[in-house]
Amino acid sequence: MNGGGENGRADVPVVAIDGPSGSGKGTVAALVAERLGWALLDSGALYRIVAAVALERNMDLTDGAALAAMAAGLEIRFEDERVRVDGRDLTETIRTEPVSRASSQVAVLIPVREAILDLQRSMRQPPGLVADGRDMGTVVFADAPLKIFLDASTRVRAERRYNQLKNKGLDVNFRALLANLEERDARDRDRAVSPLVPAPDALIIDSTDLTIEEVLEKVLSEVESRQLN
């Protein structure tokens, strides 16, 4: 997997934001990065890219070695909020339900996780990085000076996702969406490798009854109080 650059710099601050799908972590991470003028790593997009290409090539979603070899050969670019893989724009493709489901399947495989580890760490460049995912604070950036674990009730997370898709004009079934979310959460939380758990030193924020702005302010005030910016 071609990200280029060195293997990250330990002296560069990282804000790690982990949590289940629909917790708002992607939106919050993007806003924090924008406010601080730092780079953004959407690590879930990497698992989604591997899954999308695997589905396209009819690959076995349990074959870790083959999937890792494929991942290592991809050229991935995040530019202007678009995702390009080997020169093709996959921005919309990676957000579809089949890809969401397949991404949590390929994410249980150690070789796949290892194949994208260096790429993730190479994004740690001055002045700082905001990284969101499931194992940013526990594995990938275990030394991050600020770790947030963003959670919310399953129902609220499903409602948020439903509204997002509706707003895009997509026809969605709430029950099916809730069932998929629960299935994916269980797989992400219960897997043996890098499961979705808060780091021992993470600040846990429950966003069930909070707006995005309220969560954003909480995170930014932690950045301030730790003098990271």
User: Going by C-beta distance under 8 Å and a sequence separation of 6 or more, which residues neighbour residue 30?
Assistant: 40, 130
Q: Is 47 in the site for ligand DC (CB under 6 A)?
A: yes
Interface stretch with ligand DC, choices 3-11, 71-79, 130-138, 145-153 (CB under 6 A): 130-138
Determine the Cα angle at 154 with ends 29 and 130, to 5°.
10
Interface stretch with ligand DC, choices 7-15, 68-76, 99-107, 153-161 (CB under 6 A): 99-107
User: Going by C-beta distance under 8 Å and a sequence separation of 6 or more, which residues neighbour residue 219?
Assistant: 15, 17, 28, 32, 146, 148, 205
CB count in 10 Å sphere of residue 160: 18
Which of 150/216 has CB closer to ligand DC? 150
State the nearest-atom distance from the C-beta of 107 to ligand DC, in Å.
3
Residues 103 and 52: their CA atoms lie apart, in Å, by: 8
β-pair partners for 89: 84
Q: Is 103 in the site for ligand DC (CB under 6 A)?
A: yes
Choose which of 39, 93, 188, 202 interacts with ligand DC (CB under 6 A). 188
Do residues 113 and 194 lie in contact, with contact meaning Cβ atoms separated by under 8 Å?
Answer: yes
What residues between 190 and 209 interact with ligand DC by CB under 6 A?
Answer: none
State the nearest-atom distance from the C-beta of 225 to ligand DC, in Å.
26
Nearest-CA neighbor of 171 among 180, 179, 162? 162
State the nearest-atom distance from the C-beta of 36 to ligand DC, in Å.
20
Q: Is 19 in the site for ligand DC (CB under 6 A)?
A: no
Choose which of 133, 137, 148, 219 interacts with ligand DC (CB under 6 A). 133
Interface stretch with ligand DC, choices 41-49, 56-64, 76-84, 161-169 (CB under 6 A): 41-49
State the nearest-atom distance from the C-beta of 39 to ligand DC, in Å.
16
State the nearest-atom distance from the C-beta of 134 to ligand DC, in Å.
4
Choose which of 53, 149, 184, 199 interacts with ligand DC (CB under 6 A). 184
Q: Is 138 in the site for ligand DC (CB under 6 A)?
A: no
One-letter amino acid for residue 104 of the chain: S
| Residues of this chain that bind ligand DC (CB under 6 A) | 21, 43-44, 47-48, 103-104, 107, 133-135, 184, 188
